[in-house]
Amino acid sequence: MREVLEAYPGAQRALFRGYHIGGCSSCAFHSEETLDQLCLRNDNLDVEQVIAHIVRSHDEDQQLLIAPAELAGSMKRGDARLVDIRTREEWEAARIEGARFFTQELLQEMLSKWPRGELLAIYDHQGTKSQDAAAYFQGQGFQNVKSLRGGIDAWSQEVDPKIPRYRLE
């Protein structure tokens, strides 16, 4: 699987979205096992179909993105929920108004109570980890989940310059 992930960086997101594999430690796969073995122990999935699904993942990753201005519009209309997955230190340094800070408790609330059809947007610093988070929630049944393109850094450049930009050292 290590080689699969090297060749297709979006493969893990695709596997979780499509087959609920690799999302948490209880459904994780091992770096050393083959895709064939992984399919075999997961209800004997059709390997060819799984490969085709992984190859399509790049396009799906692109569809997961939401532009800062588009999200700002949804936030203004009150039809989006926004979750911040950065560290607490980053959250305290700068945040987008209306966002909720991601914690273990919030995860449980989201999985048990949040409507699956509403727009759920996730952001991080620059839009890298939020892709994984969006795919995770998609695999948990959230039908309209997006990752903020460029993260809070892009938001402060394109939507709200009052939010200070920062870098991590």
Nearer to other proteins, 44 or 78 (CB): 44
With the C-alpha atoms ordered 11, 16, 21, 23, is the resulting torsion angle positive or negative?
A: positive
Identify the residue among 3, 9, 33, 58 touching other proteins (CB under 8 A): 33
Find residue 123's DSSP bridge partners: 84
Identify the residue among 69, 79, 93, 98 touching other proteins (CB under 8 A): 93
Half-sphere exposure for 25 (CA within 13 Å, toward CB): 0
Identify the residue among 53, 81, 86, 146 touching other proteins (CB under 8 A): 86
Residue 43: which residues within 8 A CB-CB, separation 6 or more? none
Under the binding rule (CB under 8 A), the answer on residue 112 touching other proteins is yes
Crossing angle for the helix pair 47-55 and 11-19, to the nearest 10 degrees: 120
> What is the number of other CB atoms lying within 10 angstroms of the CB of residue 15?
29
What is the closest distance, in whole angstroms, from the C-beta atom of residue 127 to other proteins in the complex?
12
Q: How far is Cα 158 from Cα 10, in angstroms, rounded to an integer?
A: 27
Nearer to other proteins, 72 or 114 (CB): 114
Identify the residue among 76, 108, 115, 160 touching other proteins (CB under 8 A): 108
What is the closest distance, in whole angstroms, from the C-beta atom of residue 140 to other proteins in the complex?
6
Applying CB under 8 A, the site for other proteins has a residue count of 54
Q: How far is Cα 17 from Cα 134, in angstroms, rounded to an integer?
A: 10
Residues binding other proteins (CB under 8 A): 1-2, 5, 12-13, 16, 20-33, 41-43, 85-87, 89-90, 93, 102, 104-105, 107-108, 111-113, 124, 129-130, 132-133, 135-136, 139-141, 161, 164-169
